[in-house]
Amino acid sequence: MNYKVIDKEKYYRRGVYRHFTEDCKCSVSMTARLDVTALKEFSKRTDTKFYLNFLYVLCRALNSRDDYRMNYLWQTDELVCYDVINPTQYVFHEDTETCTPVYTLYNENYEEFYRAALADLERAKQTREYALDPANHPNWFDASYIPWLSYDSLHIELPDGYLYFLPIINWGSYREENGRLMLPLTVRLNHAAADGYLIAKVFKLVGEEIERLVRI
């Protein structure tokens, strides 16, 4: 895990950063529907899991900009940008109706990421522990699939004044709308590191990554 320390005085969002870390500590969540028709067709054609394919394009999108790899280290009062962020995915156990966190390393190579993420899920199915370990996984972001509902909105609450910068991402099941498969995606980021433009940009980037993947 490597990162660079951001000089707060030279940070291109320094005014926004100061305001939303001192005057008005808050985060922003945005939900929109994403056309995943092509990704579903790709998954069927390649006999791969749609869920893991979506996780891959999401990881590529979030790793494409420094803005999405930011974090605040309260121990040293430092603003940092990680070289890479990895997904904390989850496996759901039908028998206990509980989830187990799964730490997966991001790999830009699709085949290698897919194999590793699938293996991580299979191993996690053997335990029922909620073994969340953020202290030893500082550059992991939350990537949670909600397959039981194609929802319209979702909001993640964090303690007031808690400067948590890493993305929190949720998505639900897709549903057919006018012949297209539309998936609800929710992106939560701290307002000190991202505004409406940067959050909306995530949806555009994920769409572009879908287009790139399905051409493989």
**pLDDT given at position 73:** 94
pLDDT single digits (tens) 113-171: 999 999 999 999 998 889 889 889 999 999 999 999 999 999 988 877 779 999 999 99
Backbone angles phi and psi of 173, in degrees to 5: -75, 150
CA-CA-CA-CA torsion sign (77, 82, 85, 88)? negative
pLDDT single digits (tens) 51-102: 999 999 999 999 999 999 999 999 999 999 999 999 999 999 999 999 999 9
Q: Is the pLDDT of residue 1 over 80?
A: no
Structure token pair of residue 11: 């940070």
Structure token pair of residue 9: 């005085």
Determine contact, residues 110/56, Cβ cutoff 8 Å.
yes
pTM of the model: 0.96
Q: Give me the CATH code for the 3-214 domain, please.
A: 3.30.559.10
Type of residue at 104: T
**pLDDT given at position 65:** 97
Determine contact, residues 27/188, Cβ cutoff 8 Å.
yes
Backbone angles phi and psi of 116, in degrees to 5: -70, -45
Structure token pair of residue 34: 């994403």
Structure token pair of residue 79: 């603003």
**pLDDT given at position 157:** 81
* Domain boundaries, given as residue ranges, for the chain: 3-214
pLDDT single digits (tens) 170-204: 999 999 999 999 999 999 999 999 999 999 999 99
